[in-house]
Amino acid sequence: MKKSIFIKNMIEKYHIPPSSLEKIIIKYLWWNSKNLFLQEDISFIYEIEEDVKKLTHWYPLAYILWQAEFYGLSFFVDENTLIPRIDTEVLVRSVLDYCWEKKTKFFLFDIGTWTWCIPLSLNFYSPEFFKNTIGIDISANALKIAKKNKENLVKNKKISFLLLDFHYLESIIQEIDYKNKNLIFTANLPYIKNWDEALEKNVEVYEPQAALFWGKDTGFEMYEDLIKKLIVIKKEKKIKNIDLFIEIWYNQAECSKSFLEEKKLSYRQIFDTNKILRTLFIKI
Ligand SMILES: C[S@@+](CC[C@H](N)C(=O)[O-])C[C@H]1O[C@@H](n2cnc3c(N)ncnc32)[C@H](O)[C@@H]1O
């Protein structure tokens, strides 16, 4: 069967986007042999149709391809991984803008790092601004994935990953190392209180729920803990400057505002291209 007829049949039978089918086909052609790119008949690769069937059950394309695009880079993902989201690119862009404006060197800490998509993107695009980078997460699965991504993306940088709960952050912030220094913290922590119709079906069924859901009242509670922790660390470890960039859920404008004002912290709200508030830049 001609390749074009096979593609037409798949799209008509399963109603999937042609771009997804194209990516699946390329995966198998690449795996089998590059020569297959030249072959007209690919209908014998039965795995293509198996993968297409998974898509119709909301299985994420990124898990089928074992890769997710984030900030123009390709990240390895598997079924244990929260797939990096385009939403988080706003946070990365804000940090890069800030670094380009300040033109100084920072120590970078990423809290809840998982694939390491935030610190690896920052170090890939602007390594000159980051003296040292540490990503922390409580998930051992995350550690395996993050290491793989580091090997693929930024080999020679001082970047390390620690299995650590941020509630014990002070154990790695030594006064001797960070006194009078500039620190940037980035965090995309679980911030969704309840199941929400803004989430897609595949998130509900397939992605790790612990990476997403938290909080009793607003969902912002884990960030409140982190901010309180950073206030104490800044004072106790005599740190000159702590800049914090966090990603929030679309309905947390009010609760974040009242918490930050109560703490008398200055902050900037950063909106995505749809004019939705998704990122906060906070001066601790
Ligand atoms: C929404 S995911 C973010 C993953 C990744 N940074 C991204 O942007 O795609 C939240 C992450 O926070 C981690 N996490 C949850 N509680 C934590 C804690 N107390 N300390 C450190 N990491 C935590 C989870 O394991 C998960 O990897």
Q: How far apart are CA 130 and CA 123, in angstroms?
A: 7
Q: Would the CB of 112 count as within 6 Å of ligand 1?
A: yes
The ligand 1 atom nearest the CA atom of 247: 8
> With contact defined as beta carbons under 8 Å apart, do 142 and 113 qualify?
yes
Both 53 and 159 in a single domain? no
CB atoms within 10 A of CB 198: 10
pLDDT of residue 67: 93
Residue with the two structure tokens 């729920």: 209
Both 12 and 122 in a single domain? no
Pocket test for ligand 1, best of 88, 114, 120, 226 (most atoms within 8 A of CB): 114
Both 106 and 201 in a single domain? yes
**pTM for the full predicted model:** 0.92
Residue 262 lies in a domain: yes
Q: pLDDT digits over 151-206, tens only?
A: 889 877 788 999 999 999 999 998 878 888 999 999 999 998 877 767 777 787 88
CB atoms within 10 A of CB 204: 13
Question: Which CATH number belongs to the domain containing residue 114 in this structure?
Answer: 3.40.50.150
pLDDT at 37 over 80: no
Amino acid at 247: E
Residue 75 lies in a domain: no
pLDDT of residue 28: 86
What does residue 40 show for φ and ψ, rounded to 5 degrees? -80, -35
Residue 42 lies in a domain: yes
Both 188 and 257 in a single domain? yes
Give the model's confidence band at 39: pLDDT under 50 very low, under 70 low, under 90 confident, else very high.
Answer: confident
Q: pLDDT digits over 235-250, tens only?
A: 999 999 999 999 999 9
Sign of CA pseudo-dihedral 51, 53, 55, 59? negative
Q: Number of structural domains, the chain?
A: 2
Q: Would the CB of 149 count as within 6 Å of ligand 1?
A: no
Residue 221 lies in a domain: yes
> With contact defined as beta carbons under 8 Å apart, do 118 and 188 qualify?
yes
Find the domain containing 247 and state its range: 80-283
Both 40 and 150 in a single domain? no
Q: How far apart are CA 270 and CA 88, in angstroms?
A: 12
Both 143 and 35 in a single domain? no
> With contact defined as beta carbons under 8 Å apart, do 148 and 76 qualify?
yes
Beta-sheet strand order (sheet of 277-283): 159-163, 130-137, 106-111, 182-187, 241-247, 277-283, 266-271
Cα dihedral 52/55/57/60 (nearest 10): 150
How far is residue 243 from each of residues 190, 216, 240, measured CA to CA in Å? 20, 27, 10
Pocket test for ligand 1, best of 136, 188, 193 (most atoms within 8 A of CB): 188
Residue 220 lies in a domain: yes
Residue 47 lies in a domain: yes
Residue 187 lies in a domain: yes
Both 16 and 134 in a single domain? no
> With contact defined as beta carbons under 8 Å apart, do 51 and 42 qualify?
no
pLDDT at 262 over 90: yes
